[in-house]
Amino acid sequence: MNKRLSTTALLATTLLTTACASTATGSKQSVLMTKTQTQSLKTQAPAGSLMAVVRYPAVVDSKARDKFREAYMASPIGGRISASTANSTEAQNIVDSSVVKSNYFALSLYKELAARLPEHSVLLSPHEIKLGPDGQLTSEPITQAESLPSVVTVDFATYSYPDPKKMMDKNPLTFGDLISPMVTVRTDHRAAVPTHGVLLSSKPLKDHAVGGGYKAAQASLTELQSGSFDTDVPELDFISYISKDVTRSAASHQLSMNAPENVVQISPMEKIKMDGSKITALNKGQKGAVDPLQPVFSKGFANRIIDIINDTASEKTAMGKRATAIASYDPSLAALTFVGSNDADYLARYNSAIRLLDAEKKYLSVQSLRLFDGVHNGEMGAQVRDMLKAEHNILEKRRALARKQNQAAALAILGAVASGVAISQGSNGQSERQCDRYGRCRIVNRPNYGQRILTDVLVNASIYAGTQAFAYKNESKAIGQNYLTSIVPALEQQTNVQIDLIDSNETITAIRFEDLKDKLKTLYNDRQRSLETIATRCAYNHEGGSQGTWMGVCEGGVANGNGVGVIKNASGKSVEYYGYASGGMANGPGYMIIHEPSGSYALEGNFSGGKADGVMRVSKAGQSDKLRNYSAGKDTGGASNAAAVMSPFNTRSGA
Amino acid sequence: MIRKTSLITLLLLGTTTAFAQETQAVENTAAETITQEAQNVGNDVPIAAAPQQEKCITIMSGFPDNGHVPRYQFFKLTQELSRDITPMLKSSLDYFGDSFVTAETPVTEVIENIANPVFRQAAPEITIGNMGYLIDFAMDCESYLTGQIESLEAYDSSLTESEFNIVIAEDALFMRQILSDTLFRVNAQDHEIFGPSVQAYADSLVTTRDEIEFASFENELDSIEAIFLTDLDGRLARSNDVINNEMDQETLVSSIQITDDLNSEAKKKRKQTMLRTLSRILGGR
């Protein structure tokens, strides 16, 4: 009896560890689908600007592969990874396959955006993950897609928690019909000053994205200070996250159509379950016509991006990079484009320069379309679809086994409970006094054979059911691990093809793109007449600060006309000013961005002697833009919402 | 004399009177013109009045007739000449111009007179007068010119090529530049009434020149774009085809097959283990 009791107790304990196996479920659709209404484009891109650039990790440089895996394992989302797990081939395959899948699913978003935004206004920007000069992990764009201004750039990556043993648990996973996307949407820091350009971010990426935005803004300031318009292309936010790059906080708000301005909207880390029937329907002949991600994620995300574009598109989103792009053709014109002019000579040059950027846009757009065609509609896309189908089958098998495991565990628990009851009842069985013929008597428990047999059967059934549950669990685990082990050659091949596709395109297009730019430059130089007013570099001053740099119209060695001025102080405070100046100081309509250690904010309106003077539009963290009255640089109270703001961007043309 | 009368009438009525009214004013008094306009309200009015129709047809018959291309060039050139002509500028041409041109004078001769450097130097009023005549015609007969231009374009679509039209626009700009320079030669820019319109016309030539230069620039850029985009698209398509063909589908198929085999093996082992467990449970005690 004691043996049976201990068996039952042991069984009950062990069952606790096997019971209730997860069936690897996910949400039916992304929160982006439910919290965003269908949007149509209601705005135009600023001159020379794209609407959106989709950035994603495409390939990992062989020299950076170990570091990438190591960094990925060291920054897991949803738990901790043991050293033995991190070193396993299966875990490393999960990491490698996340890059392949980022490639494939980024194209779903591209397809959705390209279909809904004007022609040639959406580009793909595949990134190569590599080691930087400092030996740290970084990513660089493979094409020139990010050399042009864009209203927004979108980072997209898929994530899988890199523990093969946890595939059926709640951790984020991109496998079969499950996907965990990680995204950020950003614009130029000049258009979203308090958040350094970050508009929306997956929760784990937020502080890294803001940190990256701050770094890019500071780099741009340094360049302007030295008389250059070059701008940094930030690494992928996902790479910043895993390589634990600089972070910076910014006001945030949960995903909402009514979120205030000047906050980062946070998208939760999701595990979305795509329609299994759509995965099963994927086949090679369709060339990716069935897109299982579209109805659960891409459609909603594209709506949200269009909504952001509608709210964000302005000269501020484009002016920085547009000046950079124009400077490659006409440096003396570039500084004047921040504010623009109505002079015929300026407009003649400006219109031609914008036309050159449009030619670049078309060229890079064809490149993106071909990249899409090569990866999505080509053999690699077909193989990824086959892979997804295989993974879906594996998940379905594991789900079936998990259900059986749960049933077996339930049976075992029932058996254990029943046998426990039987044993307990057996211990209270009837006893009787038995006497032999010599009158010797003893108390004998009367054996209840029926009860005993029942108890034995229940215990045995429980043990069997428990064993079965263990077996199902092991089989399920084996199925996942078998797949991750055997898929290595296919994964390697896909990675190689990907490199071939992008590299060969890049080899061809890089040469051709440079060639195109040379041709355009020659044409431009042959055709342009001289500017009556040219931009030069001279001194710019700000209240109480050291001398800064002005790029624009100068007179007597100081700012005197339109242009851009920057000052960086040793204290960590820096100022960017776009607008009109007189005697070296901000004077007239202008847009001033002030970066302080505590945060950044912007003032737009009239300036006098370097100080805000009049109705100003104030952009500060965590609150929507407000109109305030300023006098000699001091805030003197709120202004009417109907008050006119003297913006440098209101009156100009040709900028 | 008639032109002077027209000018006085126009100034009396105001400078914004339409050109059609102005033509009427040559033949009628201002009061009659207003009455005529009032009568026309709500009625079907022919696009060109009968006398104008006759004038247009007569002048157009003097256009070159040695082929559809020269005719198109002349029609288009004449149309381009009427760009940026304000009523006040038109009046200034009447005021400063002095030449005798009849409807029978061939258009080629009128154009030659305008381009004649001797006239420009020695008798600028003849250049202005000829230009005024041509502009009169272009404005009065706009619907006929447009009709002829559209018919010829329908007949030969190559006439719509931008490169060809840019050349015509450049020729027109040259003649307009002659007009502007000649007006400056007679100091029209300093005239109390006409000065501002003459200055504005000179400024508008800068804009037109920029537009023509941009059109020419865009034309050349379109050619570069077409070459590069076609080349790029072809190269990438070929590159993708080669790479995709080289990709070995068998690798994935065999990987998935290996997975299936390993899974079957795992399943078999599980069954064996379970059977052993079952027999141990049932019979091994």
Instruction: Kindly state the percentage of chain A with pLDDT values over 70.
Output: 85
Number of structural domains (chain A) is 2
Would you say residue A510 lies in a domain? Answer: no
Neighbours of A286 (CB within 10 A): 14
The reply to whether residue A378 touches residue B244, judged by beta carbons under 8 angstroms, is yes
Q: Which of A90, A527, A528 to mutate to test the interface with B (most CBs of B within 10 A)?
A: A527
pLDDT (0 to 100) of residue B227: 92
Give long-range contacts, CB 8 A cutoff, 24+ apart: B101-104: B101/B129, B101/B130, B101/B133, B103/B55, B103/B58, B103/B59, B104/B58, B104/B62
Distance in Å, alpha carbon of B266 to nearest chain A alpha carbon: 6
Distance in Å, alpha carbon of A479 to nearest chain B alpha carbon: 5
The reply to whether residue B232 touches residue A363, judged by beta carbons under 8 angstroms, is yes
The reply to whether residue A380 touches residue B218, judged by beta carbons under 8 angstroms, is no
Would you say residue A379 lies in a domain? Answer: no
The reply to whether residue A500 touches residue B274, judged by beta carbons under 8 angstroms, is no
Runs of H (alpha helix) within A75-127: 83-86, 89-116
Name the residue in chain A with its Cα closest to that of B242: A501
Size of interface A-B (CB pairs under 8 A): 158
Return the domain boundaries, chain B: 1-45, 57-217, 248-283
Label residue B26 by pLDDT band (50, 70, 90).
very low
Q: What is the pLDDT of residues A262-320, one digit of tens each?
A: 999 999 999 999 988 888 887 766 666 788 898 999 999 999 999 999 999 889 999 99
Q: Which of A486, A495, A506, A520 to mutate to test the interface with B (most CBs of B within 10 A)?
A: A486
The reply to whether residue B247 touches residue A497, judged by beta carbons under 8 angstroms, is yes
Would you say residue A4 lies in a domain? Answer: no
Helix (H) or strand (E) holding A611: strand A611-619
Would you say residue A555 lies in a domain? Answer: yes
Mean pLDDT of A177-182: 94
- Which of A283, A301, A330 marks a domain boundary? A330
pLDDT (0 to 100) of residue A485: 75
Label residue A116 by pLDDT band (50, 70, 90).
very high
Q: Which residues of B touch A387 (CB under 8 A)?
A: 252
Mean pLDDT of B65-86: 90
Name the residue in chain A with its Cα closest to that of B268: A475
Would you say residue A368 lies in a domain? Answer: no
- Which of A330, A360, A381 marks a domain boundary? A330
- Higher model confidence: residue A201 or residue B243? A201
**A223: Cβ–Cβ under 8 A, 6 or more apart, which residues?**
A229, A230, A231
Mean pLDDT of B106-114: 85
The reply to whether residue B281 touches residue A463, judged by beta carbons under 8 angstroms, is yes
Name the residue in chain B with its Cα closest to that of A496: B247
The reply to whether residue B247 touches residue A374, judged by beta carbons under 8 angstroms, is no
Q: What is the pLDDT of residues A185-236, one digit of tens each?
A: 999 999 999 999 999 999 999 999 999 999 999 999 999 999 999 888 999 9
The reply to whether residue B225 touches residue A363, judged by beta carbons under 8 angstroms, is yes
pLDDT (0 to 100) of residue A287: 65
d(CA A339, CA A356): 19
Name the residue in chain B with its Cα closest to that of A398: B263
Distance in Å, alpha carbon of B120 to nearest chain A alpha carbon: 28
Would you say residue A346 lies in a domain? Answer: no
Name the residue in chain B with its Cα closest to that of A359: B225
Using DSSP, how many helices (H) and how many strands (E) does chain B show?
13, 0
The reply to whether residue B270 touches residue A474, judged by beta carbons under 8 angstroms, is yes
The reply to whether residue A486 touches residue B262, judged by beta carbons under 8 angstroms, is yes
The SS3 call for residue A148 is: coil
Runs of H (alpha helix) within A194-312: 206-225, 237-242, 276-281, 299-312
Would you say residue A597 lies in a domain? Answer: yes
Is 80 exceeded by the pLDDT of residue A119?
Answer: yes
pLDDT (0 to 100) of residue A450: 63
ipTM of this predicted structure: 0.76
pTM reported for the whole predicted model: 0.82
Label residue A130 by pLDDT band (50, 70, 90).
very high
Mean pLDDT of A236-254: 93
- In terms of Cα–Cα distance, which of A281, A287, A502, A615 is closest to B239? A502
- Nearest-by-Cβ selection for B213 from A348, A379, A501: A348
Provide the 8-state DSSP code for A175.
B
- Higher model confidence: residue B162 or residue A39? B162
The reply to whether residue A352 touches residue B214, judged by beta carbons under 8 angstroms, is yes
- Which of A330, A354, A389 marks a domain boundary? A330
Angle of helix A379-427 relative to helix A2-18, nearest 10 degrees? 160
Q: What is the pLDDT of residues A460-484, one digit of tens each?
A: 666 667 677 777 777 777 777 777 7
Give the mean pLDDT of chain A. 86
B78 is written with which tokens?
Answer: 């004449």
Give the C-alpha distances (Å, rounded to integers) separating A234 from A71, A238, A583.
Answer: 18, 11, 36
Structure-token match 């850029």, residue found: B221
- Nearest-by-Cβ selection for B274 from A367, A471, A488: A471
Q: Which residues of B touch A371 (CB under 8 A)?
A: 236
Q: What is the pLDDT of residues A333-355, one digit of tens each?
A: 999 999 998 888 899 999 999 99
**Percentage helix, strand, coil, to 5, in chain A?**
50, 20, 30
Domain that holds residue A607: 536-638
Would you say residue A467 lies in a domain? Answer: no
